[in-house]
Every structure is written in structure tokens, then in C-alpha cells.
Structure 1
Amino acid sequence: MVLSPQDIHNKEFSTKLRGYNVDEVNDFLDQIIKDYQIILEENKDLRSQLSESKDKLSYFNDLKDSLNQSILVAQEAADKVKTNSKKEAEITNREAQKKADDILNAAHEKSNQILEEASKRAKKLAIETDDLKKNTRVFRQRLQVMLESQLEVIKGSDWDHLVEDTPTTTYEDIEKVVGDLDNPVSAGVESETKQDNNADMVENTPARNDDSLQAVVIYPDKSNK
């Protein structure tokens, strides 16, 4: 059992002959009581501080555990956010890539369609141009044949006889000579067409070209009859 200052103060000693000086012993005990009281108070304070330190230590340990737990939770949440963000980024990237591919494919299809249509139009135009050239050549050849035939007719002896200043020329003679202009033209055109090496030119010639090649004839005035 630990002695208290009161126990020291109340302690009584027996006396003997030639023993210690009572006053000196009492004074020394009083000093011990004071020092002991101080030590006890300091010990009490230290115990109180130790208890508070233990409480604080326990609080900080709990706080540390809570912080560690919070850090773990935050780390898990960060990992989840990172994983979700990565997945969303991948999904967004795939969708963007798909949209870009769709746009490119649509553009390629549109460009191919435009090129195909342009190619068809170019081919059609080339064919029409070639047909037009063929028809022009045929028209030129027939016109040339017609003019040459007309020239041959005009150079004939009938026209020489017609323009002679003789009283034997009648209106019927003039009409006969002029009316014969159509026959040499048709014969000449048919003969020239058969001699043409390019048969396609003749076959592709529109019928209206034949109709447009009409001979222009100036009949003499009937008053000269």
C-alpha cells in the first residue's frame, strides 16, 4: 500500500535514550511530506496527461483507419471512374469512327455515282457526236452528188438546145427539159450511195435529209413561148 502524506504526518515513533532529536526528525518529515505531496500531484498530472494522450492516440488511430478506409474507397472510386471513362472513350471513339466510315462510304458512293453518270453522259455525247458526224458526211456526199448531177444536167445538150435563139423551141420543150432535173439527181444520189465504202453512214442518215435536198428550178417566163 502506498503511503500518503497524511500517513507520514501521523506517523509516531517511540523514544529511547540517546535517540534522534525529535525536532529535527519532525522538520525532516515535514519536508518529506511536502516533496512527496508535490510528487504525488505531478504523478497525478502525468497520469491525466497520459490518459488524454491515450485518448488522443486512440482518436488519431481511429482517424487514421478512417482516412485509410476513405483513401481505399476513393482509390476504388477513382479506378472505377477511370475504367468507366476509358470504356466511354472507347465507345465514343468507335461511334465516331463508324460515323466517319459511314460518311466516307456515302461520299465514295456519291462520287462513284456522279462519275458513273458523267461517264454515261460522256459516252452518250460521244455516240451522238459520232452519229452527227456520220450524218453530216452523208449529207455532204449527197449534196455533192446532187449538185454534180444538176451541173451535168445543165451542161447537157438539151439545155444548149433550149437556150438557142431558134423559133422551134416551145414551152413544152422547156418544161420537159426542166422537169428532167429531178431524175438525174435521184439517179446520181443512188449511184453515189451504193459506191460509198461506209454503209453505216447511209443507214444512219435521217429521212428528213432526203426531203430537204430539193432542187431549185427557175422556169422561163411563158411570155417567151
Structure 2
Amino acid sequence: MPLTPLDIHNKEFGRRLRGYDEDEVNEFLDQVIKDYETLIRENKEMQNQLLSLQEKLNHFSNIEETLSKTIIVAQEAADEVKHNAKKEAQLIVKEAEKNADRIINESLSKSRRVALEVEELKKQASIYRARFRTLVEAQLELLSQDGWEALDSSAAAATETLQKSSFE
């Protein structure tokens, strides 16, 4: 067990002949007591400082640990957001590709229908022209037959008869 200033103060030395000067020894002991008390006080102050610094160190260690965990959580959240954004972008691209394919297929289908309609119209026009040509040729043939001349002379005679009868 360490000495206390009281132990030093109460220490009694035996007397002998030719011993040390009692006043000098007492003065020295008083000085040792003062220095020892100072050292004990400083030691307690340093222990208190050490405790305070240890508490601060623990506090900062907790802050550091919390910050590290926060950084890890933030990194994980950022990775998750990045991953979700990639997934969403892929979905958007797939949807756009589907829409593009649908639009292309619809356009091709419309194009085929229009081409078929054009071909049908060409056929109808060709049929119409052929029928019209046949009709015109038939009419020309009728006009070139002899029956028209007879009709023409009968009509002229009928007209003359009508004119004569109207004068009479």
C-alpha cells in the first residue's frame, strides 16, 4: 500500500547518539510531504483528465462507428438506387422496343393493305377500260353497219312527209 502524506508526517525515527539533526530531518520531511501531496494531487488531476479524455475518445469512437455505418448504409442505398434505375431503364427500353415493333408491324400491315387496294384498283381500272373499249367498239360497229343508212333515209323521208303535210 502506498505511503500517504500523513504516514510521512507521523513517521517517528529512533534517537541515537550522533544521529541526524532533528530539525533538518523534520524540515526535509515537511518538504517531502509537500512535494508528495503535490504529486498526489497532480496524479488525481491527470487521472481525471485521463477519464475525461477516455470519455471523449469513446464518444468520438462512437461517432466514427456511426459515421462508418451511415456511410455503408448510404453506399448500399446508392447501389440499390443505381440497380433499380438500371432495371427501370431496361424496362423502358424493352417497352420502347415493343412499341417500335408494334408500330413497324402496324405500318407494314397498312402498307400491305394499301398495296393490295392499289392492285385491286388497277385490276378494276383495267376491267373498266376493257369493258369501255368493248362498248365503244360495239357502238362503232353499230355505226358502221348499213342499217344506219337505211334508218337515215327513212328518217329523212319521214321528215319530208311531215313537212309537206304541214304545208298542205
Per the normalisation by structure 2, the TM-score is 0.77
How far apart, CA to CA, are the structure 1 residues paired with 2:126 and 2:51?
109
Residue aligning to 1:69: 69
Residue of structure 1 in register with 2:91 after alignment = 91
Q: CA deviation at 1:63?
A: 3.4
Task: State the partner residue of 1:204.
Answer: none
CA distance in 1, matches of 2:97, 2:60: 53
User: CA 1:215 to 1:10, structure 2 compared with 1: closer, same or farther past 3 Å?
Assistant: farther
Pairwise CA distance, 1:26: 2.1
Which of 218, 221, 225 lines up with 2:156 in the alignment?
218
Structure 1 residue 115: deviation in Å? Answer: 2.5
Distance 2:35 2:142 in 1: 153
Under a length normalisation based on structure 1, what TM-score does the superposition of the two structures give?
Answer: 0.60
- Give CA deviations for 1:122-162 in whole Å, capped at 9, x if unaligned: 22112212321332233224323448x72xxxxxxxxxxxx
Matched residue, 2:79: 79
User: For structure 1, which runs of at least 5 residues remain unmatched after alignment?
Assistant: 151-180, 183-213
Rate the CA distance shift 1:218–1:22 in 2: closer, same or farther, 3 A.
same
Corresponding position of 1:58: 58
Note closer, same or farther for the CA distance 1:132–1:17 as it changes in structure 2 (3 Å cut).
same
Match in the other structure for 1:154 = none
Letter in 2 for 1:26: N
- 1:216 Cα deviation after fit: 6.9
The residue type paired with residue 135 of structure 1 is L
* Cα distance change of structure 1 residues 22 and 215 upon mapping to structure 2, 3 Å threshold: farther
Q: Give the CA deviation at 1:43.
A: 0.9
Q: Which has the larger radius of gyration?
A: 1
Tell me the residue number matched to 1:138: 138
Equivalent position SS for 2:19: coil
Deviations 1:103-131 (A, max 9, x none): 22112212221222122112211221232
1:100 aligns with 2:38: no
Matches within 5 A, 1:167-206: 181-182=150-151
Q: Structure 1 216/30 Cα, relative in aligned 2: closer, same or farther at 3 Å?
A: farther
Q: How far apart are residue 215 of structure 1 and its match?
A: 7.2
Identity %: 40
1:156 alignment counterpart:
none
Partners of 1:215 and 1:86 in 2: CA distance: 97
Alpha-carbon offset, residue 13 of structure 1: 2.1
Q: Is the alpha carbon distance of 1:52 and 1:218 closer, same or farther for their aligned partners in structure 2, counting shifts above 3 Å?
A: same
Deviation at 1:100, TM superposition (A): 2.1
SS of 2:156's partner is coil
Q: Unpaired runs of 5+ in structure 2?
A: none
Query: What secondary structure is seen at the aligned counterpart in 2 of 1:100?
Result: helix
Residues 83-105 of structure 1, C-alpha deviation per residue, up to 9 Å, x if partnerless?
23322222222122212211221
Q: Determine the C-alpha separation between the residues in 2 that align with 1:77 and 1:99.
A: 32
CA shift in 2, pair 1:111/1:7, >3 Å: same
The CA RMSD over aligned residues, in Å, is 2.8
